[in-house]
C-alpha cells in the first residue's frame, strides 16, 4: 500500500502547471495575432473600397445612354474647364473640377445637398445630379432632377424662377454661378434636355402636368436652363 503524503501531493500536483500555462499562453498569443491580422485586413479592404468609391464619385466609370429619335447617345462626365464670361477671383483654382455637392437659389429660398443619381430618383429632399452629366464649371450640361411634390420635394418653387436669377452650384470650395435664361414645360419623354451642350450650362428638371398611371409618372417636365457666368468662393454663400 502506497501512502502519498500531503507535501508530496502538492509537489506532484504542480509538476505540469508551467507547461500547461505555457501552452495556454501561446494559444492566446496566436489568437491575438489572428485577430490583429483580420482587423488589419478589414481596414485595408475598407480603405481600398473607400478609395474606389471616391474615385467613382469623382469620375464615374459606368456607361449611361440617352435614347433620342436619332438613336442612343452616351453621356460621359466632361472635365474640360471653361473660363467664365466674368473673370473669377484670382485666388480661386478652377483647374480641378469636382462633383457638385450643394445647390443654392436665393430668389426662391432653395438650399439643397446633391446626390449622385443614375436611374433611381432621390427618395429624400435632395437634388439629384445626373450620372454622366458635366461637372460644374466645365464644358457641357450639368443636369439636376428634383421632385416637386411629396416627401422628396425640393424643386417645388422653381416655377417661380425668372430670367436672370442666379443658381449657384458648389464644387469643392468653389461656388459656380449660373444665370437663368429660360423656363418651360416639355414632354416627359423629351431627352434632348439631357444631352451634352457646347456651352457650360445647368439644367434643372422637375415634374409637371398630371400624373399618368399608364406612364407611371407625370405627363410633362418643367425645365430651367441657366448659363455659367462666374465663380466665387463658397464661403460667402
92 and 31 inside one domain: no
Please check the confidence at residue 33 and state whether its pLDDT lies above 50: yes
194 and 83 inside one domain: yes
Q: How big is the chain, counted in residues?
A: 237
Sign of the four-CA dihedral 147, 125, 213, 71: positive
Q: What is the pLDDT of residue 214?
A: 81
Does 38 fall in a domain? yes
90 and 41 inside one domain: no
125 and 213 inside one domain: yes
Does 85 fall in a domain? yes
| Higher-pLDDT residue of 124, 79 | 124
Residue with cell string 501512502: 3
90 and 177 inside one domain: yes
Q: What is the rounded end-to-end Cα distance, in angstroms, of the chain? A: 98
pLDDT band at 2 (very low <50, low <70, confident <90, very high): very low
Does 173 fall in a domain? yes
226 and 122 inside one domain: yes
For residue 213, the Cα-to-chain-centroid distance in whole angstroms is 30
For residue 8 the three cell numbers come to 508530496
Domain carrying residue 70: 64-236
Separation between Cα atoms, residue 208 and residue 182, nearest integer Å: 16
Does 159 fall in a domain? yes
Does 1 fall in a domain? no
43 and 114 inside one domain: no
Q: Tell me the CATH number at 98.
A: 2.40.260.10
Q: What is the pLDDT of residue 100?
A: 95
79 and 155 inside one domain: yes
Does 197 fall in a domain? yes
What mean pLDDT, rounded, does the chain reach? 80
Does 115 fall in a domain? yes
pLDDT digits (tens, 9 = 90+) for 50-96: 433 444 444 444 566 666 666 666 666 767 888 888 888 778 889 88
Of the listed ranges 91-100, 110-119, 211-220, the one predicted with least confidence: 211-220
Q: Which of 121, 122, 102, 120 is nearest to 112 (CA)?
A: 102
Residues 105-117 as b or e (16 or more Cβ within 10 Å = b): beebebebebbeb
Max mean pLDDT among 38-42, 46-50, 135-139 falls in 135-139
Of the listed ranges 37-41, 54-58, 98-102, 199-203, the one predicted with least confidence: 54-58
Q: What is the pLDDT of residue 13?
A: 44
Q: What is the pLDDT of residue 30?
A: 75
41 and 85 inside one domain: no
42 and 146 inside one domain: no
State residue 84 phi and psi, 5-degree precision. Answer: -70, 150
Q: What is the pLDDT of residue 27?
A: 72
41 and 143 inside one domain: no
183 and 71 inside one domain: yes
What does pTM read for this prediction?
0.70
Does 59 fall in a domain? no
Please check the confidence at residue 138 and state whether its pLDDT lies above 50: yes
Amino acid at each position: 500500500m502506497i501512502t502519498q503524503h500531503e507535501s508530496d501531493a502538492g509537489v506532484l500536483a504542480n509538476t505540469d502547471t508551467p507547461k500547461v500555462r505555457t501552452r495556454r499562453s501561446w494559444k492566446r498569443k496566436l489568437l491575438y495575432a489572428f485577430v490583429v491580422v483580420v482587423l488589419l485586413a478589414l481596414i485595408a479592404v475598407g480603405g481600398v473600397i473607400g478609395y474606389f468609391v471616391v474615385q467613382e464619385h469623382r469620375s464615374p466609370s459606368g456607361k449611361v445612354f440617352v435614347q433620342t429619335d436619332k438613336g442612343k447617345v452616351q453621356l460621359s462626365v466632361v472635365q474640360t474647364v471653361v473660363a467664365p464670361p466674368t473673370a473669377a477671383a484670382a485666388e480661386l483654382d478652377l483647374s480641378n473640377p469636382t462633383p457638385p455637392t450643394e445647390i443654392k437659389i436665393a430668389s426662391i429660398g432653395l438650399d439643397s445637398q446633391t446626390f449622385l443619381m443614375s436611374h433611381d430618383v432621390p427618395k429624400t429632399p435632395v437634388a439629384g445630379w445626373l450620372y454622366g452629366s458635366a461637372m460644374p464649371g466645365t464644358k457641357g450640361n450639368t443636369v439636376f432632377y428634383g421632385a416637386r411634390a411629396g416627401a422628396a420635394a425640393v424643386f417645388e418653387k422653381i416655377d417661380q424662377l425668372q430670367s436672370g436669377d442666379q443658381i449657384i452650384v458648389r464644387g469643392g470650395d468653389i461656388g459656380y454661378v449660373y444665370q437663368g435664361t429660360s423656363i418651360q414645360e416639355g414632354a416627359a419623354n423629351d431627352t434632348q434636355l439631357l444631352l451634352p451642350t457646347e456651352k457650360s450650362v445647368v439644367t434643372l428638371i422637375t415634374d409637371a402636368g398630371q400624373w399618368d398611371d399608364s406612364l407611371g409618372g407625370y405627363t410633362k417636365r418643367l425645365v430651367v436652363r441657366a448659363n455659367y457666368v462666374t465663380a466665387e468662393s463658397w464661403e460667402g454663400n
